[in-house]
Chains A and B, each alone.
Chain A
């Protein structure tokens, strides 16, 4: 097993540029992904602050913002088209460039070789290439913010014909072209990464590490990579067709007879719903591309800080497999009122509620893990518990939306916004924070400040609920998503105080993330040193490597695995944890 690539390679010195910038080391690439994604998250987060300010006080003059954005706030009030650009860019940056990138690109790269006892990824160069293509896509999407004709305005879902006809809105000219380019590059980068993850996990596991001894993080990353490999090509293909419609005069998504602002558009034969089918065929698996790694990481971290084995490891694996298979047959639940044949609506209701079953299994198993535990409330542990709470809150509202008849009223309202933020933004965010606090000492050889970590948790937990829970309420009240000024509608005026409450909470939630950023970047250089290899008393293989691991990860010999990763609190053992590489003296339970 790759014995040629041994520890002798550890010591040949590389210059700064080869070591930290154009590196093919999976750990550096993982950290590069994380820090790039964090930068995109800061931008995406600031955009959402502007949106929230607008929604709470839509007609109030804001001279300060007018000074910062003279064009977008000409006259002292936000321009409506600017708001739509904010919606589009916030969604795009967060879904793709934060969550997909940080969970698979960041944690995936950092953790896969370390947790399976390998020296690097199967294809290190492809891995580096995947990062540099990702960075290029970040630069392209970021530049879309500065186009003079406006940033893209199609929403993150880019429904045609709004996205297909450049004259449909100001940002749909150059801005939209950049959006499609960035998404295409991102898809290519994701494919290169995914191919690598699958090959690495399947072929490079160390001696003794059978599939059913993999940490759940690894299972989740493997399944996610397969999902990505099947879903991203569809997005890439759809994006290319959309580009043809815009620049090449084709009509995949544009029907005949369209009149845009009195000007007839010269297209014929396309269908707008084709875009939606293609987009959501990608888009729903994409939800799980974000959620599954979060589930995997949260499971492992939860078990570690509960000092108790994960409840029903097998069912955890099977339910992830079931979720991933079902995720390809539920896309129509985004389209119940789109004009799709209502009989299909019935089918998609059935498949959608089916996918709730494995999700419920996972929830029971997390609760089962905590029952009778001895919980250590570290920042990482708290965020893992927070993940469960957020996932449950966000998941349950999915039952309303998956029931087609109830969705008629709720579709495209803040009820949907509340649902998907909790389940696929806040829950994965909690898992990502748990992961960062947990693996930080392995990444940088230092700890993040634990007190600041806890303060960060409390503000984030309270803030996230105060922001997203009330959105269910105003969604039931009918407030549509993506509107620039809810007070335009009489029926929405009475609930405006809720919007003000959400906005104030959002500012607090946003400010609390500064605590994290300061803690993260200061701790890289000045955090308490991690002298122990395994400071959390965890069981998986990365904790047998030095902190941070050198090039090649492990010493001269790769570790051998003798047991599953959840031997916590085994009765009769001296310690309350047994690492995977400890030979079985008593009979291993698994």
Chain B
């Protein structure tokens, strides 16, 4: 009369299901540890904090995943019905439940604090004053990049002035606008110097996504939203739109070049100004 204390029976279904769960565990461990496909190459300062936060969550949830799926696999393999013994008749264990509940709550609280430190370091700190400032306006389906030029002053923009040749409605009569540079689809910034972007949209919501820089921020019509980041690698990168914005959403991209020096960047600004 060993109710529930006996091992039960190995059944074909139980073994197959357990086998599949083992394959699931092994495959996911392989993909998340060997990382044959992984994040786009990291190229920003704060991105390292986001990536290590991701890894911390990965370790915690990975352990939970292996334990829970593993237990599930073990139970289905071990506890098939054998027709002789009955299942155990127990259905409460307040102490075990309380322990598991507290452990879960503690782990999640720790993750909340770890996550909020990173979040605060990104969102609750102002960009350094020497940052390169870019005003970015999204529209169906391209990105406009607006630089202040040598005077450091952005010219006035007005949606009433928007024409097919003046995408952002820059007021060319404004003295501050004289040396402004507006580039369509091409963004530049120097390496190792903070970049401060002000995001706007002309029509619908877009999302300014720099996969290599761990930057994603929606551009919302009627709002001006600022984010900043510091590039740590020079080279060519891509800007994507991450928010559904209409039929051309998939091709709303731009080129981002991180110049290896301030001089190179200034050189590009000069060339862009001539156009």
Binding site for B on A (CB under 8 A): 79-81, 83-84, 87, 153-155, 159, 161-162, 165, 168-170, 254-262, 264, 270-273, 306-315, 337-339, 342, 345-346, 349-350, 353-354, 356-357, 360-361, 363-365, 367-368, 370-377, 382, 385, 388-389, 392-393, 396-397, 399-400, 403-406, 408-409, 411-413, 454, 458, 461-462, 465, 469-470, 473-474, 476-478, 480-486, 488-491, 494-495, 498, 566, 568-571, 576, 589
The answer to whether A490 touches B54 (Cβ under 8 A) is no
The answer to whether A569 touches B86 (Cβ under 8 A) is yes
**B186 close to chain A: CB less than 8 A:** no
Indicate which residue in A80, A312, A406, A465 contacts B54 across the interface (CB closer than 8 Å).
A406
Nearest 7 A-B pairs (CB), nearest first? Answer: A255-B222, A377-B13, A372-B88, A342-B123, A405-B118, A403-B115, A81-B247
Besides A258-B159, A259-B162, A478-B209, 13 other A-B contacts (C-beta < 8 A):
A84-B249, A153-B247, A161-B204, A345-B119, A349-B115, A353-B109, A357-B101, A364-B97, A373-B4, A377-B76, A406-B57, A569-B88, A571-B1
The answer to whether B246 touches A153 (Cβ under 8 A) is yes
The answer to whether A400 touches B65 (Cβ under 8 A) is no
CB-defined contacts of B8 to chain A, threshold 8 Å: 373-375
User: Complex Cα distance A199/B115, Å?
Assistant: 43
Interface residues of B in 67-114 (CB under 8 A from A): 68-69, 71-72, 75-76, 79-82, 85-93, 97, 100-101, 104-105, 108-109, 111-112
User: Complex Cα distance A15/B52, Å?
Assistant: 68
CB-defined contacts of B14 to chain A, threshold 8 Å: 375, 377
The answer to whether A411 touches B91 (Cβ under 8 A) is no
Interface size class of B (residues with CB under 8 A): 35 or more
Kindly report which residue of chain A lies nearest to residue B211, judged by CB atoms: A478
Kindly report which residue of chain A lies nearest to residue B85, judged by CB atoms: A374
Binding site for A on B (CB under 8 A): 1, 3-5, 8, 11, 13-14, 16-17, 20-21, 24, 27-28, 31, 37-40, 49-50, 53-54, 57-58, 60-61, 64-65, 68-69, 71-72, 75-76, 79-82, 85-93, 97, 100-101, 104-105, 108-109, 111-112, 115-116, 118-120, 122-124, 139-140, 159-160, 162-164, 202-205, 207, 209, 211-212, 214-218, 220-223, 225, 238, 240-251, 253
A/B interface sample: 29 pairs, CB < 8 A: A80-B248, A80-B251, A84-B249, A159-B204, A162-B205, A165-B204, A168-B246, A169-B246, A170-B247, A258-B202, A261-B140, A273-B223, A308-B4, A308-B89, A312-B91, A337-B218, A338-B205, A345-B123, A360-B100, A367-B72, A367-B75, A370-B75, A372-B4, A374-B87, A392-B65, A392-B69, A406-B53, A408-B214, A413-B242
B218 to chain A, nearest CB (A): 5
User: Complex Cα distance A338/B209, Å?
Assistant: 12
Indicate which residue in B71, B72, B80 contacts A374 across the interface (CB closer than 8 Å).
B80
